[in-house]
A and B are shown apart, each in its own frame.
Chain A
Amino acid sequence: MLTRSPDRVALTGAVLALVSALMLPAGTLRPNRLAQGDPHSWLAAGAILAVPMLALLLAVFASFLCSRSLRGHVLSSAGVLLIGGIALSLGALSESLMVDAPSIARVSIGSGTWLMLAGAAIVAFSGWQALMGKESASQGTHVRMVYPLATAAFLFAAVAFGGLDTISLAAEYGIRTAVFWPSVIAHLRLAGVSLVLGLAMGVPLGIIAARDARIRRVALGVTGIIQTIPSLAMLGLLIAPLAALSAAYPVLRQLGIRGIGETPAMIALTLYALLPIVRNTYVGLAEVDPAVVDAGRGMGMSRGQLLWRVEMPLALPLVLEGVRAGAVLLVGITAVTALVGARNLGSFIFEGLGQAAPDLILLGALPIIVLAIVADVGLSFIADAVTPKGVRAA
């Protein structure tokens, strides 16, 4: 039942989690939201610590299991318990530290907690990997989905009942609830509108590029150079002429076009979206089998019909892959546009950097990372779903 050659990935994760739990601070208690704090170990968290510690033992034990699917399930459970246990312990630690502290004191998440979470993620990944293996794949996706759902339930419980709502990140959110969600919406709107503008320009450009080699070289060359330009430099180069234009023509100002704010942001983001969309539209069209196009022509299709009924549907998965790459890119660059006065999640980052308030930085950076991952996963899912069955098999 046990093997001499354990799952080295799972063991690495467990050792990382254990070492960071013992050696690094779990949290820091600050006198107020800006001051430097004192590092604290996990000890103050109390009895709840048993949960992550048992999960660690379970992970080490599971690494030595022979049966791949059993190992997968036990490791995944250990990963879920570990992540949930860390969240609950952090909540308990924060509550117990805040008992004797003044109400303006803050408990920030320590480096030990972050590295423990990384270790827990490695354990969970090794379990997932074991379940994805050939022998266990027949069990279907349903069983595996239990683990992410259980993790989400644990995190919810930690916030709702486990005292996780007393940490500094939650306090920063509490102060800014009224601006937080509008910032998320503004972030998504700016990135989304720019992506749609990028599509409206990029797809036709990609189609022309597939037809004409000279236009292709220019289009790919120029969009490639745009992509290379640092986002902050691009915004800087856009605001000066826009400011001059809106000063010279009051009509533009009435339309909301100004040197700073959303206008330069949207122009820059649209330009950045062009390269992945143009390139993938062109590559997608270039990869369509000429025999299929010939067949369509033989059926008497016009050029327009060929393009929209044969070539574009076949190129669609690659075009969507370009949209995915563009979306992930734009979610990040949108944050930078906060520096030229567009209000979005990036504003929290730069305000936080300005005040040296680490938890305000987190309040901006964590949702941005989540949005980027959601855009990545969501759009790859859509790209998979629209891929015609015949193309997928090839």
Chain B
Amino acid sequence: MRPSRRTPVLAAFATFVFAWLLTRTSWLEAALKWAFPTEVSWLHPRADLVSLTVEHLAIVAISSGLTVLVGVPLGIWVTRSSGRDFRQLVAASVDLGQTFPPVAVLALAMPVLGFGFKPTIVALFLYGMFPVVSSTIAGLDSVPTSTLEAAKGMGMSPMQVLFRVELPLASRIIMSGIRTSVVINIGTATIGATIGTGGLGVPIIGGLATRNMAYVVEGALPAAVLAVLIDVLLGQVEHGFAVPLQEADSA
């Protein structure tokens, strides 16, 4: 969506309203009771929405945090002279990896790592790497050669060029990759409930298994709102970074 001056305020307000509504369990139950009068139970017994949401966010935060810690340095390394040999390999793997469906990656983690928290974290961490690495490479590539030459001419060391010139100019593109990665992870984490990870997928999967529509909606509605909210918030962060420079016309 196009950013405007009002968007940050609206996003903050929406986040606040969402968090507050999550705590109003009795309202939710009343609404679900009205919508699904034939069910006998309306709220999934495993945990309340606040703890499910916190659990969901924790899964995403841990896996995406690891993704950024590994993915950004990997993207930087393959654009340096020490890692340039591996650039093609990493770029090709990342392209291939992005065509893998997230469900398939999540499913493949289970035979290797078993049920529970760990396989989901590992699968989300690996799957989240693809957009982060590719956007890091794309961001660093977007820095014009003339700018790099100018920085070198000023007597900057390679480290100074990286941290003071390249990364600041690449930050917006890198941030867009992180945003994509986090949003995909929020979605894949809901499916993680099928391997016992917890989070907002629990009521959805539980509801589908017991054919209880109220449970399904209890999980699906906040999961959808959470993903859209996080996307908008990270979009705000992204737009806070500098716009990438355009390569000068005449070389």
B216 touches A236 (CB 8 A): yes
Whole-angstrom distance between the Cβ of B124 and the nearest chain A Cβ: 13
Inter-chain CA distance A361–B107, complex, in Å, is: 7
A328 touches B99 (CB 8 A): yes
Inter-chain CA distance A217–B103, complex, in Å, is: 31
Near A by CB (< 8 A), chain B positions 194-210 give 194-195, 200-201, 204-205, 207-208
Inter-chain CA distance A217–B1, complex, in Å, is: 7
Whole-angstrom distance between the Cβ of B18 and the nearest chain A Cβ: 14
B223 touches A232 (CB 8 A): yes
Q: Which of A86-94, A138-146, A297-305, A362-370 contacts B (4 or more CB under 8 A)?
A: A362-370
Given contacts A230-B186, A232-B204, A237-B220, contact A368 B85 (CB under 8 A): no
B191 touches A352 (CB 8 A): no
A332 touches B104 (CB 8 A): yes
A340 within 8 A of B: yes
Inter-chain CA distance A295–B145, complex, in Å, is: 37
Interface residues on A, range: 35 or more
Whole-angstrom distance between the Cβ of B228 and the nearest chain A Cβ: 5
B1 touches A373 (CB 8 A): no
Main secondary structure of the interface of B (DSSP, over half): helix
Q: Mark A213-236, 1 if CB is under 8 A from B, else 0.
A: 000010001001100111111111
Given contacts A8-B86, A9-B85, A356-B115, contact A231 B187 (CB under 8 A): yes
Inter-chain CA distance A369–B103, complex, in Å, is: 10
B108 touches A230 (CB 8 A): no
Q: Which of B99, B188, B208, B213 has the most CB of A within 10 A?
A: B99
| B-chain residues with CB within 8 Å of residue A221 when the two chains form the complex | 1-2
A111 touches B112 (CB 8 A): yes
Q: Return the chain B residue nearest A349 by Cβ.
A: B107
| B-chain residues with CB within 8 Å of residue A7 when the two chains form the complex | 85
B50 within 8 A of A: no
Inter-chain CA distance A104–B2, complex, in Å, is: 60
Inter-chain CA distance A332–B188, complex, in Å, is: 11
Interface residues on chain B, number (Cβ under 8 Å):
47
Inter-chain CA distance A331–B104, complex, in Å, is: 10
Near B by CB (< 8 A), chain A positions 274-331 give 328, 331
A126 touches B207 (CB 8 A): no
| A-chain residues with CB within 8 Å of residue B103 when the two chains form the complex | 332-333, 335-336, 346, 349, 365, 368
| B-chain residues with CB within 8 Å of residue A231 when the two chains form the complex | 187, 191
A150 within 8 A of B: no
A236 touches B204 (CB 8 A): yes
A101 within 8 A of B: no
| B-chain residues with CB within 8 Å of residue A129 when the two chains form the complex | 88-89
A125 within 8 A of B: yes
A353 within 8 A of B: yes
| B-chain residues with CB within 8 Å of residue A126 when the two chains form the complex | 89
| A-chain residues with CB within 8 Å of residue B1 when the two chains form the complex | 217, 221, 224
The residue that B101 contacts in the complex, of A229, A232, A335, A340, with Cβ under 8 A, is A335
A51 within 8 A of B: no
New contact pairs (12) apart from A9-B88, A126-B89, A349-B107, CB-CB < 8 Å: A125-B88, A229-B224, A232-B187, A236-B220, A237-B217, A339-B191, A346-B103, A353-B107, A353-B194, A372-B99, A373-B99, A375-B99
In order of increasing CB-CB distance, the 5 nearest A-B pairs are: A332-B101, A236-B220, A358-B111, A230-B187, A233-B223
**Chain B interfacial positions (CB closer than 8 Å to A):** 1-2, 35-36, 85-86, 88-89, 92, 96, 99-104, 107-108, 110-112, 115, 183, 186-188, 190-191, 194-195, 200-201, 204-205, 207-208, 213, 216-217, 219-221, 223-224, 227-228, 231
17 A-B contact pairs sorted by A residue (CB < 8 Å): A8-B85, A122-B89, A221-B1, A221-B2, A225-B228, A230-B190, A232-B223, A233-B190, A236-B204, A236-B219, A237-B217, A237-B224, A240-B217, A353-B107, A365-B107, A372-B99, A372-B100
